[in-house]
Amino acid sequence: MSSGNLIYHQEQHQLELNGIILRSGERIEIHVMGNWISGQLHKDSGGWYLITSDQMGIRLRSGLLARFAEVPSSLRLQAEGHSHCPKLPRGEEQKWILVVEDDEAHASMLDLLFKQETSHSVCYTSDGQTAWKFLQHFKPDLLVLDYMLPKVSGLVLYDRIRAEKALHNIPVLMISAALPSDEIKQRGIIGLQKPFEIDAFLHAIEVLIASA
């Protein structure tokens, strides 16, 4: 299970874990005195705290080692040339999404979001070359694309997709901690800067899928 350090943004009163802004009610685990303690996130005017199963409240601060309470066993990010994908939906109503993200911790967070907040099927791969091979066989309803990828950057992959007649109309959401604002503006790409709000991410997903 992937873990990372909590970051508290005092000015915005926000708590971040591995590039995702957490919400009140989210379930996470924190590492304290050699043990993982699970609970539900809450916040008040004084800051953020974790409510455990026995109703104990633990105040949270930046730097605490934390992870989401459960990571789906179905997620397996493999080495180059492999990807994870559930059985592709056959119904017309169900949509599916290809996520290209080389940070396993962030991919795990996204997997939880999709499973908990949407009905979409999601496939994952960790590099642009594998994604390109994947796209030769399957056309997703949406591509969630990290900008900073090994070997082939997100922009290079995007340009290649747009140049391919069979793929050029796939909606793309680009995510990165360092978005190339000029380049994505020139291409008309919708982008989200890490860390991003969960609601903003989910809204962008639904808008882009609806526009396909």
pLDDT digits (tens, 9 = 90+) for 135-194: 887 889 999 999 999 888 999 999 999 999 889 999 999 999 888 889 999 999 999 998
Does the pLDDT at position 203 exceed 90? yes
Distance, C-alpha 7 to centroid of its chain: 17
pLDDT at 104 over 70: yes
Position 152 scores a pLDDT of 86
Task: Give the strands of the sheet with 142-146, arranged side by side.
Answer: 83-84, 121-125, 96-100, 142-146, 172-176, 190-193
**pTM of the full structure:** 0.67
Which whole number is the average pLDDT over 98-118? 85
Which band of pLDDT confidence, cut at 50, 70 and 90, is reported for residue 37?
confident
Q: How far is CA 47 from CA 7, 32, 68, 186, in A?
A: 12, 18, 19, 40
What pLDDT score was predicted for residue 85? 62
Q: What is the pLDDT of residue 173?
A: 97
pLDDT for residue 91 is more than 50: no
* Collapsed DSSP state (helix, strand, coil) of residue 123: strand
Q: Over 80: is that where the pLDDT of 111 sits?
A: yes
Portions of the chain given CATH number 3.40.50.2300: 83-211
Chain region(s) in the chain for CATH 2.40.10: 4-68
CATH superfamily of 83-211: Response regulator (3.40.50.2300)
Please identify, in words, the CATH class of the domain defined by 4-68.
mainly beta
Q: How many CB atoms lie within 10 A of CB 84?
A: 17
- The answer to whether the beta carbons of residues 127 and 100 sit under 8 Å apart is yes
Q: Token digits for 55?
A: 């109703």
